[in-house]
Homo-oligomer: A and B are copies of this chain.
Amino acid sequence: MSTEHETGGAPTKFGVVLFEGFQSLDVFGPLDIFNFLSKTRPLQLSILAKELKPVSTSFPSAGFGQSVVPTHTFQDAPHHIEVLLVPGGGGTRDDENIAPAMEYVKRVFPNLRYLLTVCTGSALVAKTGVLDGRRATSNKNSFEWVKKQAPNVNWVSKARWVTDGNVWTSSGVSAGIDMTFAFVSAIYGESDAEWIAARSEYRRQTDPDDDPFAKDPEAGSS
């Protein structure tokens, strides 16, 4: 299979959606991989939020967290973003908190080349309706809640990650790392994915169906 990189058209313009109470590893697991990828080819990253003020992992603010600086508001986001990453986290449980992010995702989804979600980021995206009829997964600890957020999605209860067309959704938190390595391998080439994994000293899980955290007994897992 020739990758998009080999055919010259791999995406270079990345965006990540932040909201108060995002899960830090949901964001920085994938972004650390893209940071490495940016050393091999010119890439751009836009960090998007409701406002330009730093966005905290802690929501409601609890004193133990980290704040990341956006580069653009949702209103002023570049129009050319090709790959959009949407994290999960406790903040997804508050509709008002994620309303600006949902509005942005719904607006730009038709123009994206790829949408990647980690953990309950898939719930945020699914609540906009854009995943209706598609297969997707999410954090297994929050799976019942996630299903209720968007009952018209074909939620996959046993998967490390799921791809459906141009939408990649991962299971909880650390699963975003494995999904992103698979994404890099598929789109930029396995040699790039292997190079980054070696630099990161990361043992990839490459089987999207291998999910020891699945809770659905019908899926045949504990």
Interface residues, chain A, with chain B CB atoms under 8 Å away: 23-25, 27-29, 31-32, 34-35, 38, 43-45, 47, 54, 57-58, 62-69, 139-141, 171-175, 177, 198-203, 205, 212-213
Contact = CB atoms under 8 A, between A and B. Distances in A.
Contacts of A32: 23-25, 28, 173
Nearest to A55: B69
Contacts of A44: 63-64
B141 A65 contact: no
Given A54-B69, A63-B44, A203 B205 contact: yes
Most chain B C-beta atoms within 10 Å of own C-beta, residue among A47, A68, A69, A174: A174
A173 B198 CA distance: 10
Given A28-B66, A69-B54, A201 B35 contact: no
B64 A34 contact: yes
Contacts of A47: 66
Given A64-B43, A69-B69, A202-B173, A25 B34 contact: no
Given A173-B201, A203-B205, A203-B212, A35 B65 contact: yes
